[in-house]
């Protein structure tokens, strides 16, 4: 129970690090992307692991709107992490290489949206259209910057020791006492999922890229 509470209280970076999805078969489905607006100046482009601030409108195939972040709820744009299935797969595929200020139309087949089951007001097998505007792009916890912060000896690999030190720091930052047994278990869990080639270290590539999961 305590462990659950502790885990659920740790925010973004740690949870994202723990988040790992076993790779299934790649769906054949593709997202249709239409760029509606591209700003003249583009300082950086979105990539996996970035967090994006987005406004989004969703439509059914018949043109009926089923959601609009501008008109519904708190009318706030939302933060979204690219590439970790935080939203639907269609977003992870369709929102790469975007500039802040860019607006795209995505046509997402059911396999990359809510599939055979549907969800809430989305009926099964729905192809969905989204108009998405990216307002801001920031480094997410999967960024090179985060990696460098964890990589204490700058060898571009994360050892178990480095990950453990990071966990300790994160625990302290969130007001929890260090817990050696818990940290050991978490490190073991992280390495089981993230050290893909089982060489005992998490390389920057293992840390940053998650392509095969999409």
Query: Rounded to 5 degrees, what are φ and ψ at 59?
Result: -130, 145
**Cβ proximity to Ca ion, 46 vs 159, nearer residue:** 159
The residue ranges that bind Ca ion (CB under 5 A) are: 151, 153, 155, 157, 195, 197, 199
Query: In terms of Cα–Cα distance, which of 146, 142, 188, 177 is closest to 6?
Result: 177
* Min separation Cβ 200 and Ca ion, Å: 7
* Min separation Cβ 158 and Ca ion, Å: 6
How far lies 8's CA from each of 1, 2, 11, in Å? 11, 10, 8
- For the chain, the distance separating the N- and C-terminal CA atoms, rounded to the nearest angstrom, is 32
* Min separation Cβ 42 and Ca ion, Å: 33
- Quote the longest CA-to-CA distance of the chain: 56
* Min separation Cβ 153 and Ca ion, Å: 5
**Cβ proximity to Ca ion, 56 vs 157, nearer residue:** 157
* Min separation Cβ 152 and Ca ion, Å: 6
**Cβ proximity to Ca ion, 86 vs 170, nearer residue:** 170
**Cβ proximity to Ca ion, 189 vs 199, nearer residue:** 199
**Cβ proximity to Ca ion, 61 vs 199, nearer residue:** 199
DSSP 3-state helix, strand, coil percentages of the chain (rounded to 5)?
A: 30, 20, 45
- Spatial distance between the Cα atoms of 41 and 185, rounded to a whole number of angstroms: 46
């Amino acid at each position: 129970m305590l462990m659950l509470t502790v885990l659920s209280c740790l925010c973004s970076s740690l949870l994202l690090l723990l988040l790992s999805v076993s790779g299934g078969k790649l769906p054949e489905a593709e997202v249709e992307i239409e760029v509606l607006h591209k700003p003249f100046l583009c300082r950086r482009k979105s990539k996996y692991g970035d967090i994006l601030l987005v406004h989004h409108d969703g439509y059914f195939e018949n043109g009926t709107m089923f959601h609009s972040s501008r008109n519904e709820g708190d009318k706030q744009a939302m933060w979204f992490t690219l590439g970790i299935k935080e939203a639907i797969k269609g977003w992870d595929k369709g929102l790469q290489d975007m500039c802040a200020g860019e607006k795209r139309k995505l046509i997402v087949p059911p396999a990359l949206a809510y599939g055979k089951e549907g969800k809430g007001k989305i009926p099964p097998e729905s192809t969905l259209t989204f108009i998405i505007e990216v307002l801001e792009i920031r480094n997410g916890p999967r960024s090179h910057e985060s990696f460098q912060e964890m990589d204490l000896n700058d060898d571009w690999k994360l050892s178990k020791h480095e990950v453990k030190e990071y966990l300790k720091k994160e625990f302290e930052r969130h007001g929890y006492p260090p817990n050696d047994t818990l940290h050991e278990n978490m490190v073991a869990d992280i390495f089981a999922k993230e050290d893909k080639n089982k060489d005992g270290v998490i390389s920057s590539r293992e840390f940053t890229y998650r392509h095969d999961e999409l």
